[in-house]
Chain A
Amino acid sequence: MTQINKNILRSVLVLSYIVITALILFGLSSIYTYLNTGADRSTMLHTEIKKIDQYLPKLEWAVLNNEGRPMDGQTLNAIENDYLDAWYVKQVAYKTNTTEGIDDYYTENARKNIIHFVEANINNNISVEGTTLRHHLKLEFFSEDGQLAVLTDANVLEYKRVYENKKLLLETTETSTYNIVLLLEDGFWRIRHMTKEESRDYKYPPKPEKNLVSDIKGINYYPQATPWDMFGDKFDAQIISKDFKLIKNSGLNSIRIFVPYDDFGKANVKPEKLQKLKQVLDIAEKNQLKVMVTLFDFYGDYSVLNWTLNQRHAQIIVSFLKDHKALLAWDIKNEPNLDFESRGENLVTAWLDKMIKLVKTVDANHPITIGWSNIQSAPTLKDQVDFVSFHYYESLEELDTAIKTLKNEIINKPLVLQEFGMSSYKGIWKPFGSSEEDQANYHKKAQEIISNNNLQFMSWTLYDFIKIPKEVVGRLPWRKRAQEHFGFINQNGETKPAFNYISQP
């Protein structure tokens, strides 16, 4: 007995010794690591500032014809970067009422102006969320020693949301012209003088509406193996080609696809993703299908400071595809009304409105719509879109009346039932779900309502999917299972009864 006790005592002693040693070692190493961190001398020169895309408004330089020293590309680039950063830190300062970063981009005298505003706004509980969407820069002067530059920034398109006590007080879009004197200090081009020379409310010039969509008989498309990940590593042109042939042969004439925001690289749209997107449109063209491209999917931030990045994303994709023969229309965003509650309806609609205007300036020829998730939201921004799209997953009983109500509200624009469908899942997670026959009846009836109301449509969806990413409907199995069974073709590749009603009643 004493023997055992002694052994226990020994092992406890040895163990505690090991533990204490480990703790001391850990402590010493933490102190050592701590002492080795800190400012690196090279940071004094500001040579290592990492360039991340945080503010990318549309910016045009006028042809260089400045007084003084001839400008070189590298310096011009440095000026442009620092000038935009100056705007960015200013927007952040007025949004958060702090002065972080202001010192780097404004000279000692100039920064006082911003500090005054921040102080005044703190006192009055004001905050301003702003961004600039367009700049037209002209280099007026560059000094011989390369230390001073004068710019004119004409017709800067400024968007601001002014809050008082966190309540939106004013939303304003202005266009202003600035004269700016910049100095090169400590490796930064800093704003020394900034003078607003002109400012007024901005009204977007009216763009002709495009009511070109007619007779859309379409389907929302994802490949069976890679739903919600169409442009990933498993992208397979042959499968898509086969599917498109099938869609065409089933009597449909168009498809709707989605551009995931993060996956495409945000503001820095990845060229390989663009190529895949173009490939999809090429295949569609070969199969005489038209493509409705949803520009934003899996995006839900909307914060004003990121607008320039969102717009850059859209601009790259739109200008890349705008001349493609298979392009049918631009769907700005998939189901943005789902974000009304979390982000605020006003902010989301403002974002959509500005995005529509951007897409129109880039591509004046293709019609624009927004994929509202329900029929109640459909009239939102009806004057901005070229045709109105909505999704419908509720009972078909009310669809007919709902359409008639909507038609009263939207008189002269085409309506597209952009998503509708029924899951044929009936199983352990949903014992009272619908059967494949129910699904067939649903589509038959839906098609009848569609043709009675002269509606255009895009159904959800071609395939029963095997794996649904958790980002789509969450992790709950009954949701996932249901989402897997919306297709006209089941997981084994056989057509379900509903397939008969894919394009007509």
Chain B
Amino acid sequence: MKLNFTYLLVLGLLSMIFIDENNDEFTLITKETQFEAGKNIELEFSGSNQEKPTLYISNSYGSSIIKPTLKLDVLGYKLPRAICERTGVIYWKLLSGSNKLSGKLSIYPKLEVATMETYLGPPSIEAGETDYSMLVVIPTDVYDNPLPDSTKVIVKHQFLGNLSEDVVLTRNRISFKNIYSKTISGRILVASECLDKDSKEYTIDVMPAIPTNFTISYQQNHNYADGNQITTFSTSIIKDRYGNIVSDGTYVQFFITNNSNNILKTSGTTINGIATAKMIHPDHEDNWIIKAYVEGIAESNEISLFYKKVIEDFEVVFSEDNRKITIGPLKSFMNQMIPDGMEISLSIYENDKKIKTLYKSSYEGFATFKLNANDFPNNMYRLKIKVAGVGKTYSRIKL
């Protein structure tokens, strides 16, 4: 009885092994496991019976199931084109039985460059040997697979007669090279080469670095405070610390401080390093102190400008019961009539209290005020007239 039991057990075990083998009756015939991208791949298995299991495959992007073709006891699984063209590991599993036969294939890229996927940035950098732009090159084969690591990529760049070549190896599917600026501004031309395939030309603009301090000067026709002519301020050629002329359009602000400590502002942008700005002359004697800034970065020296008085004195004529006040002729430095538009003010006081200030612009050297009886009833008034910083007071004018 005991023997019988042992016998049964052994038989049972044997049958289990047998069944197990039955499940694994397929063997892989294809010995190759490395394929070049684009080559047709067919996995072949030998199978003895008519079972036609499907094959599961999974590559870099997805998974699918392939049906076999049976030729003379050989099961052939033809991998779809799209899968044959994609590099990476393909994991497969034969869907038969419980112990599924599985394995790996790897597809390596075709060692021919079809495109040089190039990324260059930033496109403009600053002169001075510290700033740089980065060139990233991903050489890819005709099936859009990146080439394997340690592929040689030659990065070439040209700048002002200097041509340089660097060899970089791809790592993590990419190669990159930092291209540093020199001290001179200009344009760097970049290209790359990999396995005899050349990229197109790329450019990096090397912009001048930030401006350094500069000087300013002025031009004017005369230095009279006629409120009419224009003084032009201009900077010296503004350069960075390496002597590059700063980029066109650099914004320069001129701050003018006058005698009453008010600040006037004018501005300009550079062309070829020079910024100019204009300011109309004051209409009264004044002293200006001018300083220019590229805000937060550079500043100029201070210059000072003196504007001479043009009107020393003027005539005032009262008529029509003192209600019409004619001022003029206002004469300038050559006794010419002052240009139109000179501001004249008339302040009217009653009992030492200012009632009103009237303004007029000169016209052909004269200005006329008419005091309305409704606004200014008959009384004694004090009148104060001011032209180009020169004042005249009439204390007791009867209207």
Contacts and interface: CB of A to CB of B under 8 A. Distances in A.
B93 to A, nearest CB: 7
Contact of A113 (B86, B134, B136, B172): B86
B111 interface: no
Interface in A120-134: 120-121, 124, 126, 128, 130
B80 A176 contact: no
B368 interface: no
Q: Main SS of the interface on chain A?
A: strand
Contacts of B174: 141, 148, 150, 181
A235 interface: no
A362 to B, nearest CB: 28
Contact of A109 (B64, B102, B144): B144
Contact of B59 (A112, A164, A196, A200): A196
Nearest to B134: A144
Contact of B58 (A110, A181, A193, A199): A199
A143 B121 contact: yes
A155 interface: no
A69 B138 CA distance: 18
Given A150-B172, A150-B173, A114 B61 contact: yes
Interface stretch (A167-175, A312-320, A367-375, A485-493): A167-175
Contacts of A194: 60-61, 88
B87 A195 contact: yes
Contacts of B87: 195
Contact of B60 (A126, A141, A144, A195): A195
Contacts of B176: 67-68, 141, 143
A194 B82 CA distance: 14
A197 interface: yes
A181 B173 contact: yes
B173 A193 contact: yes
Interface string B57-97: 01111111101000000000000101100111111010100
B80 A162 contact: no
A94 B122 CA distance: 38
B172 A140 contact: yes
Given A113-B60, A113-B62, A114-B61, A195 B119 contact: no
Contacts of B89: 176, 196-199
> How many of chain B's residues touch chain A, expressed as a range?
35 or more
Contact of A143 (B59, B65, B134): B134
A176 to B, nearest CB: 7
B35 interface: no
A152 interface: yes
B172 A199 contact: no
Nearest to A160: B63
B56 A162 contact: yes
Given A195-B146, A200-B104, A145 B122 contact: yes
Given A145-B121, A150-B173, A172-B93, A117 B54 contact: no
Q: Main SS of the interface on chain B?
A: strand
A263 interface: no
Nearest to A138: B172
A165 to B, nearest CB: 11
A162 B63 CA distance: 9
Interface in A189-239: 193-201
Interface in B144-198: 144-146, 171-174, 176, 178
B133 interface: yes
A143 B83 CA distance: 30
A178 interface: yes
A138 to B, nearest CB: 10
A117 B95 contact: no
B132 interface: yes
Contact of B64 (A120, A143, A179, A200): A120
B178 A144 contact: yes
Given A126-B65, A181-B146, A181-B173, A120 B82 contact: yes
B121 A144 contact: yes
Contacts of A113: 60-62, 82, 86
Given A117-B64, A164-B65, A172-B56, A195 B173 contact: yes
A209 B90 CA distance: 35
Contacts of B54: 164, 169
Contact of A201 (B62, B102, B172): B102
B358 to A, nearest CB: 54
B146 A193 contact: yes
Contacts of A470: none
A90 interface: yes
A162 B171 CA distance: 35
Given A67-B176, A144-B134, A150-B173, A174 B122 contact: no
A116 interface: yes
A140 B174 CA distance: 10
A140 B58 CA distance: 25
A141 B135 CA distance: 13
A124 B63 CA distance: 12
A120 B58 CA distance: 13
Contacts of A144: 121-122, 132-134, 178
Contacts of B133: 144-145
B65 A193 contact: no
A147 interface: yes
A162 B119 contact: no
B191 to A, nearest CB: 18
A147 B173 contact: no
Contact of B91 (A90, A179, A193, A199): A199
A183 B80 CA distance: 28
B60 A178 contact: yes
Contacts of B64: 117, 120-121, 124, 126, 128
Interface string A342-364: 00000000000000000000000
Contact of A116 (B80, B119, B138): B80
A110 B178 CA distance: 27
Contacts of B119: 143, 145, 147-148, 183
A170 B95 contact: yes
A469 to B, nearest CB: 42
B121 A196 contact: no
Interface in B16-71: 54, 56, 58-65, 67
16 contacts: A90-B61, A110-B61, A113-B61, A114-B62, A116-B80, A117-B64, A117-B82, A120-B82, A121-B65, A124-B65, A126-B64, A128-B64, A150-B172, A170-B93, A197-B88, A199-B104
Given A148-B119, A172-B56, A197-B89, 15 more contacts: A112-B82, A113-B60, A116-B82, A121-B65, A147-B121, A148-B136, A162-B56, A169-B65, A169-B95, A174-B91, A178-B60, A179-B172, A195-B60, A195-B146, A196-B89
List 3 tightest A-B contacts by C-beta distance, closest first: A145-B121, A144-B134, A117-B62
Interface of B: 54, 56, 58-65, 67, 80, 82-83, 86-91, 93, 95, 102, 104, 119, 121-122, 132-134, 136, 138, 144-146, 171-174, 176, 178
